[in-house]
Chains A and B, each alone.
Chain A
Amino acid sequence: NAGVTQTPKFRVLKTGQSMTLLCAQDMNHEYMYWYRQDPGMGLRLIHYSVGEGTTAKGEVPDGYNVSRLKKQNFLLGLESAAPSQTSVYFCASRRDMTANYGYTFGSGTRLTVV
């Protein structure tokens, strides 16, 4: 049981390049989330999904897009990377709203934009 798997684990981008971060979960969870963590700040929600085919904006959605074409996958896209998007990105999933509210997190993707 792999839980939540994030790909890649590390990436360096040049300003203006694009990339997609992949999150995959094998727990049949309905809810999936993308967070970013920056030094001196808490985890901040970028986008989330409450089920296959649905997405919604979180606290800091600008500069990112997401897709949830399959229940088990949640993709985070950066169309034109900026240095301000240098961060550690965490994906998380949760079975539903009636669960114990706990997320299962992936191990993170460290992205550097130069």
Chain B
Amino acid sequence: DQQVKQNSPSLSVQEGRISILNCDYTNSMFDYFLWYKKYPAEGPTFLISISSIKDKNEDGRFTVFLNKSAKHLSLHIVPSQPGDSAVYFCAGSNTGNQFYFGTGTSLTVIP
């Protein structure tokens, strides 16, 4: 049973525009969330995190929003750049140790 779901397998965005990647989770006990990006033939790279005591966390062009009542988080990338083209995974945990990952969203930023 998938505890973290990324229902959009792919997303295309024009360079300079906003990319919004969505993630839903089913376990109400999750209190830590991570976003990773992955290029082909490489391991995932940590991008940004958020804990349940916050509803927003920013790091440069990347912002993660958490809506606990809806069990939903989203990653905003502004402005999007061609180098952002990758697969993005979200992950949640209720222990801070065992994280459950979504299936990923492939982002393509069109120059």
A residues with CB within 8 A of B: 4, 31, 35, 40-45, 48, 50, 58-59, 90, 92, 97, 100-108
Contacts and interface: CB of A to CB of B under 8 A. Distances in A.
**Main SS of the interface on chain A?**
loop
Contacts, number: 58
B9 to A, nearest CB: 9
Contact of A42 (B4, B41, B45, B98): B4
B62 interface: no
A41 B44 contact: no
A45 B98 CA distance: 7
B103 A42 contact: yes
B101 A50 contact: no
Contact of B44 (A40, A44, A105): A105
Interface string B3-35: 010000000000000000000000000001010
B97 A42 contact: no
A59 B41 contact: no
B57 to A, nearest CB: 10
A58 B93 CA distance: 12
Contacts of A101: 32, 34, 49, 93, 96
Interface in B55-85: none
Contact of B97 (A43, A97, A100): A97
Contacts of B32: 101
Contact of A102 (B2, B46, B93): B46
